[in-house]
Amino acid sequence: MLIAGNWKMFKGPAEAAAFCRELRATELPADVEVVVCPPFVSLSEAVQTLAGTEIGVFAQNCHWERDGAFTGEVSAPMLRELGVYGTIVGHSERRQYFGETDETVAKRARTALAEGLHVIACVGETGADRDAGETSEVLRRQTAVLEHDENLVVAYEPVWAIGTGKTATPAMADEAHELIKSVLDVPVLYGGSVKPDNAAELLGQGAVDGALVGGASLDVDSFAAICLAASPS
């Protein structure tokens, strides 16, 4: 099981360091892989504070070029130099607000993997897609552009469940994960309002290999409770 906390645009360097100090002092299950994904400005503090632990640090995005005239972007070699372990690509907020497409997500994932980073590539349908009966088509399209790699995982995040308090039922999540795995044989995380009180049921589904946690990852106790729920022991 992999539990990744996506902090989005929260926690500057000082707050990130304080959170990571508290997290490293918290007992986490040994059979669960734990990752935090701070904003770019807080990556260095997170890497330094979590050094010597099994907790990984991922970025929230990564450009497809190693360098160049791409103002506001960060490359995989830059992340590697910081000691960052991996990166998210294709989060629905990147698709919705910043023009990310299936093709650019695939390019970002391909380059990050080639540069030695682990990648969490996000896919998911909107509420309109689901209402139109197009969930399967959307998930197949978003997944098919990705290439199999042992360091790649996919995160299924139904867009209508992100930050809304709504959550896919365990059966809906399991069905979507099975579909994604039929297209690409990689582990699949569930994301979309994962909380301590629903984590165990969601993570207990056969095709669910972990969670990409948003708001609930901003509090150490809440995040640790989800990590504990992921442990089969």
CATH number of the domain enclosing 40? 3.20.20.70
Please state, rounded to an integer, the average pLDDT across all residues of the chain: 95
> Hey, which bits of 64-126 come out as E strands?
86-89, 118-123
- Residue 143: pLDDT band (50, 70, 90) is very high
In this predicted structure, which of 85-89, 104-108, 158-162, 224-228 has the lowest mean pLDDT?
A: 158-162
Average pLDDT over residues 202-229: 96
Q: Is the confidence at residue 18, as pLDDT, over 90?
A: yes
Which residues have C-beta within 8 Å of that of residue 89, sequence separation ≥ 6? Answer: 61, 62, 105, 108, 109, 112, 119, 120, 121, 122
In sequence order, the β-bridge partners of residue 119 are 87, 152
Catalytic residue set: 91, 157
Q: Is the confidence at residue 188, as pLDDT, over 80?
A: yes
| Residue 167 pLDDT | 74
In this predicted structure, which of 9-18, 35-44, 121-130, 214-223 has the lowest mean pLDDT?
A: 121-130
Residue with tokens 């994904």: 37
Q: Is the confidence at residue 139, as pLDDT, over 90?
A: yes
Q: Is the confidence at residue 123, as pLDDT, over 90?
A: yes
Average pLDDT over residues 142-159: 96
Which residues have C-beta within 8 Å of that of residue 37, sequence separation ≥ 6? Answer: 4, 5, 6, 7, 57, 58, 59, 60, 88
| Residue 183 pLDDT | 97
- Residue 92: pLDDT band (50, 70, 90) is very high
Q: Is the confidence at residue 63, as pLDDT, over 80?
A: yes
| Residue 169 pLDDT | 86
Q: Is the confidence at residue 162, as pLDDT, over 80?
A: no
By residue range, what is the domain housing residue 109? Answer: 2-229
Q: Is the confidence at residue 160, as pLDDT, over 90?
A: no
| Residue 168 pLDDT | 79
| Residue 130 pLDDT | 87
- The larger pLDDT score, comparing residue 162 to residue 14, is at 14
Distance, C-alpha 82 to centroid of its chain: 19
- Residue 186: pLDDT band (50, 70, 90) is very high
Q: Model pTM?
A: 0.96
Domain count for the chain, please give it: 1
Percentage, residues of the chain above pLDDT 70: 99
Average pLDDT over residues 37-63: 98
User: Which tokens in the block code for residue 131?
Assistant: 């209402």
